[in-house]
Amino acid sequence: MASIDKVSKNIQLFIAPSNEDQLETFEKVCNCIAVKASSSWGDKKFSVFSDSLADYAHLSTKAMSDMESMLKNGPPRTSPNLLSGLTELSVFVAECEKKYGISVEM
C-alpha cells in the first residue's frame, strides 16, 4: 500500500500555504488530504496516484539540480494519472482547509 506520509510530503510540490506563518498547520493539512484520498479512493487508485506523484517529485528534484537542462527542456510534465488525482484532491483540500482553519494555494 502507498504511504500516506509520502503522499503528504510530495503533494507539497503542488500545494502551498497562503501564509508562511502557518507551516506547521500546513503539514497537518497535507496529511489530512492524503488520509482522505487514501480512505476515499481505495488502495489501488491511491497507490497509482502515489506512484505518479513520487515519479513527478523525482523528476522535479532532478530538473532543479540541472537548471541549464530545465531551461532548455522546461519543467517535467505531469502524467494523466497525476493530473486526474490532483483535480480530485480539490475536494479534500477544501475540507482540510476548513478543518484546520487555514487557506492553501493549489
Give pLDDT tens digits along the chain (106 positions): 469 999 999 999 999 998 888 888 999 999 999 999 999 999 999 999 999 999 999 999 888 888 888 888 888 899 999 999 999 999 999 999 999 999 999 8
Return the domain boundaries, the chain.
Answer: 4-105
Distance CA 61, CA 65 (A): 6
Distance CA 42, CA 96 (A): 19
Distance CA 81, CA 41 (A): 13
Q: Quick one: pLDDT at residue 2?
A: 63
* Cβ proximity of 102 and 29 under 8 Å: yes
